[in-house]
Structure 1
Amino acid sequence: MIRIAVVIGSTRPGRRGDQVARWVHERAQKHAAAGAVTYELVDLAEVGLPLLDEPVPAAIGDYRHEHTRRWSELVASFDGFVFVTPEYNHAMPAALKNAIDYLFTEWNDKAAAFVSYGFTGGVRAAEQLRLTLAEVKVAGVRSQVALNVFTDFTITDMTEPGTFTPADHHLPVLERMLDELTAWAGALAPLRRREPVRS
């Protein structure tokens, strides 16, 4: 059984990412082969990590705080991730970068897929996220869902989240992306079974 986390990468009040993540989660569960893969929502707003406060580098694995140990256990339990990220100033949200930086070996030899959103589809945030995850040994799949705030949401007031109304063409891309993610997560399983090496 492959376990995939759908990670809500924004913690901003009034965010749009929770709607997107629920769509991903619902569609993924419908698309999943019976008994082969499960999906779980992980909301960074609920995880509630403070700005990185561990005195020892993550690669050492000597966690001093209970919130870090809880996050470590949660991330370690998954084989892959779908990161749902907005684009803030050409980049991923600080909360998402912070959550990644807390850990190291828990991310190693896993796979990731990306669903981004923003005025230009959030693609620059996803590209930055790919680079960050590569450093913690996460393999990113090629296919990606890029959602445009102007065409994939119904918004009458930009100060409000609006309603997520994705165009039909996103669904086959999402399903292809999930198939790639499942395949990569499965292919990397032998590496995850090795004893982790601490720096």
Structure 2
Amino acid sequence: MSTNKTRVLVLVCSTRPGALGPAVGAWLTGTIAPRAADLGAELVPLALADLGLPFLDEEEHPSSGVYRNEHTRRWSAMVDAADGFIVVTPEYNYGMPASLKNALDYLSREWAWKPVGFVGYGNTSAGTRAVQHAKQVVTTLRLVPLGATVALRIADAVHDGEVRPPAAAADAAIGVLDELVRLAHALRPMREQARPESAAGPEPGSYLRRLTPDDAPEVTVLQRCCWVDEALANDPRTVPALHESVEQVRDWLADWHAVGLWRDGRLLGMVRTRRVDAEWHVGRLGVAPDLRGRGLGRWLLRKAEAAADPSCRRIVLSTGAGSRDNIALYRSEGYRPAPRAREDGTIRLTKEPLRTG
């Protein structure tokens, strides 16, 4: 799983001039900021009044992801980059404001599998009816509403024109953030799997996605699990995957095109590729030891081959000269080993790429 901070968009929904919303939003972010730092969360305040969204004016349905207007593309990018949301909303006539409903209606996929918490404010009901109204809508967008909420009764929260809620409200706000961050982590695999750039994997619930330097901790752990057999069959000193630090893994993840097979937040397998002159180099093909024998390595290898630059003359990979199982797999996939091992104890195998058309 990515080690990026959890990005929380704090949406202040009232667009009415002189509204209380910005002050409530400022109180909220100030109250939960220390806790956010402890949790590794990034708070991003945003007022819908500043966003300037007109009433929905896109021709295509939001589920298409086809946006004609720049304001929609800008809003899409903001929501897509977030891992969760805290909505600061007033209550208007037993419901949420039109500005919030409109902002929700603009998008579709960008909301999916992200937690949303609410801070409601109002008079008699302290905004609770607006929150319940909004929860009916957000679930349709596959947002996941929290159980924890903050309900501010204006008479109790505003003193001498300043927002100063009782201590219990601050505790509730921290509780919302705690629950949101935990749920954002739990839902991350579902968000990743739903992204357009992810591809379905061979195991039920698995998916393939690009590995980035943020995945270095998981890649390091997988390497050390997978390459133990390599070390037993060869000279352990010649197996870099067993000795690399997280920072070294982070460095090569930035230079290679690496993909990982994931399921429920676990990295099941990986492979990396890149072009070197007229050759397509494949490396670090590994599958978690408890999942071997299911064809995952062969599946990943074929994915790596399919990504080869069409102008490359051959596909090249290496393995330990003593790694009989690896060599047998590569032979069965059409690779030809060199007649003798290299000085570092590895053997080079090559294959002509499949030409189509």
User: Into which bin does the TM-score normalised by the smaller protein fall?
Assistant: over 0.9
1:177-196 → structure 2 map (5 Å cutoff): 177-196=176-195
Q: Match for 1:140 among 130, 135, 145? A: 145
Corresponding residue of 1:164: 163
Kindly indicate whether the alpha-carbon contact (under 8 Å) linking 2:39 and 2:181 is maintained by their aligned counterparts in 1.
Answer: no
TM-score normalised by length of structure 1: 0.92
Identity between Structure 1 and Structure 2 (%): 39
* Higher normalized helix content (fraction of residues): 2
1:1-199 → structure 2 map (5 Å cutoff): 1-34=5-38, 36-119=40-123, 120-154=125-159, 162-196=161-195
How far, CA to CA, are the matches of 2:195 and 2:51 in structure 1? 25
Q: Structure 1 regions of 5+ residues with no counterpart?
A: 156-161
Q: Deviations over 1:117-162 (max 9, x none)?
A: 001200000001111110000001101100001111126xxxxxx3
How far, CA to CA, are the matches of 1:179 and 1:26 in structure 2? 15
Q: Structure 2 regions of 5+ residues with no counterpart?
A: 197-357
How far, CA to CA, are the matches of 1:105 and 1:113 in structure 2? 19
How far, CA to CA, are the matches of 1:32 and 1:137 in structure 2? 24
Q: Give the SS at the match of 2:156.
A: coil
Q: Deviations over 1:25-45 (max 9, x none)?
A: 112211124462110101101
In the alignment, residue 172 of structure 2 is paired with which amino acid? V
CA gap of 1:123–1:195, structure 2 versus 1, over 3 A, is closer
How far, CA to CA, are the matches of 2:164 and 2:36 in structure 1? 22
Q: Give the SS at the match of 1:181.
A: helix
Corresponding residue of 1:159: none
How far, CA to CA, are the matches of 2:138 and 2:24 in structure 1? 21
How far, CA to CA, are the matches of 2:167 and 2:33 in structure 1? 18
In the alignment, residue 17 of structure 1 is paired with which amino acid? G
Higher relative contact order (CA 8 A, sep 6+): 1
Corresponding residue of 1:158: none
How far, CA to CA, are the matches of 2:92 and 2:57 in structure 1? 23
How far, CA to CA, are the matches of 1:173 and 1:154 in structure 2? 19
CA gap of 1:67–1:117, structure 2 versus 1, over 3 A, is same
Q: Considering only CA atoms, is the larger Rg found in Structure 1 or Structure 2?
A: 2
In the alignment, residue 74 of structure 2 is paired with which amino acid? R
TM-score normalised by length of structure 2: 0.52
In the alignment, residue 70 of structure 2 is paired with which amino acid? E
Q: Give the SS at the match of 1:116.
A: strand
